[in-house]
Amino acid sequence: MTNEVKNVPELRFSDFSEEWKSEKLGNISDRVKRKNQNLESKMPLTISGNLGLVDQVTYFSKSVSAKNLENYTLIKKGEFAYNKSYSNGYPLGAIKRLEKYDKGVLSTLYICFRFNENQNTEYMKQYFETSKWHKEVSAIAVEGARNHGLLNISVNEFFTILLSIPSLNEQNKIGNFFRKLDRQIELEEEKLELLEQQKKGYMQKIFSQELRFKDANGNVYPVWEIKKLEDVASKVKSKNKDNKYNETLTNSAELGIISQRDYFDKDISNSKSLVNYYIVEKDDFVYNPRISNYAPVGPINRNKLNRTGIMSPLYTVFKTEGIDKKYLEYYFKTTKWHKFMKLNGDSGARSDRFTIKIDLFMDMPILFPNYEEQIKIGHFLEKIENSIKRQSTKIDLLKQRKQGLLQKMFV
């Protein structure tokens, strides 16, 4: 439809035509100031851009709140909180509705509030997922006054920000529409979780040999054999002496081998020292000694970029022969090799980096089935992984669709 009046959304349900109103937040909501007297709740919360209002223990794996929670604000289900701390995707902080729990407590650094009964909180929840309110908050934030990641915004001024509000009937319709879309996304995310759990379960059974594959005649393949890594692989020593290659790669525990520029949004390697970097060709394996929650002894991944790049000499690069590369790739996604690393390596010198001598690393014992069974295992797990990728893409597309609709259906 064409916009004949100014304060209307680009995309709208056909049974509404009146102009939206601009209302001060303080006129349609009340600040929540109740204290957590008598420790009515012992659940300190935090705000995550992706997860919303969530239990600190769930988010941080520990409580980071003060010991005395009585001075914290008690927030109840359906009420909102504003986190003035800015982060990726939330340049002016995040406003979230409490949904996961009946009640919880928040630091007084958060601004808590509840809408009056003439407003639909589902509509409001979605409104705060847009950037439509950012201009108002930006106007009251003290310029240059950012303290430890917090925007300097007073409570009184926060409640003066203007929100674009349609009639309650239109709010209800918009709220219901996005609630159904969110539910669709949740269901697809549950399917993704099931696929990931299925893959994890199969990997545990396959590499513990609880689940075995059979040959064309229905016979179980021969007993698995232990081989040292050096029996099936050789360390790459070729360096980028002539500066032939200029794409620096990195090895991420979560994303695998990826272009450094894609991972960090910039080149962080020193262009003058690239001659000392190792050349990493297609299907080469790379060990990254940097440890994390995802990779407690560092990750080993295969270069599946279908192109050659270079990597810092801090990485260990090796080529394999006589084995199925997919099998070995999935083996390194298990924890079967971690015990050997912990017995022969050390993470004491630097808490974020694992150290092991290259000769010891190449002595790593690995269980191998015969070549045919390796191929079957690799293909089987790759099939599940491809299903996971397709499902993940489906979710990303739904989220992109939602973002597009958010921008068009609000003012």
Q: pTM for the complete prediction?
A: 0.86
Percent of the chain whose predicted confidence (pLDDT) is above 70 = 96
CATH class of 225-368: alpha beta
Phi, psi of 224 (to 5 degrees): -70, 150
On whether the CB atoms of residues 330 and 379 are closer than 8 A, the answer is: no
What number does CATH give the domain 21-165?
Answer: 3.90.220.20
Q: DSSP state, 42?
A: -
Q: List the beta strands (DSSP E) in 296-345.
A: 300-302, 309-311, 316-320
**Of 3-7, 195-199, 303-307, where does mean pLDDT reach its minimum?**
3-7
Q: Which residues contact 67 (CB under 8 A, 6 or more apart)?
A: none
Q: What is the pLDDT of residues 351-409, one digit of tens each?
A: 789 999 999 999 999 999 999 999 999 999 999 999 999 999 999 999 999 999 999 99
Q: Which residue type does 261 have? A: R
Same CATH topology for 21-165 and 225-368?
A: yes
Q: What is the pLDDT of residues 279-300, one digit of tens each?
A: 999 999 999 999 998 999 999 9
- 45, with CB counted inside 10 A (0-12, 13-18, 19+), is buried
pLDDT at 263: 84
Helix (H), strand (E) counts: the chain = 12, 24
On whether the CB atoms of residues 48 and 90 are closer than 8 A, the answer is: no
Residue extents of the structural domains in the chain: 21-165, 225-368
Q: What confidence category does residue 1 fall into, taking pLDDT thresholds of 50, 70 and 90?
A: very low
pLDDT at 272: 72
